[in-house]
Amino acid sequence: MPDENIQIRVDGRIVRIARLKTEYFESLEAPVEFVDHLKKNRVKANIFTFLQSVADIEPRYAYMRRHDSLAVMSITTFEHWWKSQINDKTRNMIRRSQKAGVQVRIAEFNDDFVKGIKGIYDESPYRQGIPFKHYGKDLETLRKSHATFIERSDFVGAYDGDELIGFIKLVHSKGFSSLMQIVSKTSSRNKAPTNALIAKAVEICSQKSIPWLMYGVWSQRGLGDFKRHHAFFRHDVPRYFVPLTVWGKVVLNLGLHMRLKERLPESWIDFAVDLRKKWYSYKSRERV
């Protein structure tokens, strides 16, 4: 069976929920057979959840479902994106990057590139007002964590001279590609490397005839405006929940599989996110 080698992770104590370890970057070709495989091998979980492919959002399975809202861009040609999908402000930011001499190109994933990634990550222990999980990691740890899906990934670097000031990891899947990483130096923000990297990702996808580009989850907070300005939009993809045990069936029937943040009003989440950002800004002695 083609899906048997896909890795899963299991989260939770009272309710143990299994999912693909990298569910946003790979999808199941045969979900029904994979569920049978999990049951047969008595995986230590009560529920299995999986996403349908970004490239196919018509519900296909009879399992309990809701949806995940992802940020997705529809791609035909680079010219169409440039002329019709983005606004003048975004085009000007990309031009600013070019005028500043930033060079954006596909890079080899080697020692020098990993050192460049570390230089970006170690710029600050905080990003977007919260602790940055990659800050201070050693080179070997970074190499291993970025080497996933290496056979179907493009690494793209934004260079200011010889200095790597931003990069993306673009993972290609069946019918869509995903921005698995996109990070730039805050100190180089005035050179707009992130805008230039998005443009390069669109160019690569159009050359490969890939119709969809995904950039994480859809949210009105954080990077929401940035994603919209670059032509990403909300794309609802079916998420399924399958009971693997009697307890899993009870949990699903009672609706207890939903995480707390999925139950709270959006305004409460906005308040909590803002409060968290202010707290970490205070801790890092940044002005809010």
Q: Return the CATH number of 76-210, one of 3.40.630.30, 3.40.50.1580, 3.40.50.2300, 3.40.1410.10.
A: 3.40.630.30
In which residue ranges of the chain is CATH 3.40.630.30 found? 76-210
pLDDT at 27: 85
Element (H, E) at 167: strand 163-173
pLDDT at 285: 56
pLDDT at 29: 87
pLDDT at 281: 59
pLDDT at 2: 46
pLDDT at 1: 44
| pTM of the model as a whole | 0.85
**Low-confidence stretches of the chain (pLDDT beneath 50):** 1-2, 286-288
pLDDT digits (tens, 9 = 90+) for 110-142: 999 999 999 999 998 888 777 889 999 999 999
Which residues make Cβ contacts (< 8 Å) with residue 62, sequence separation at least 6? none
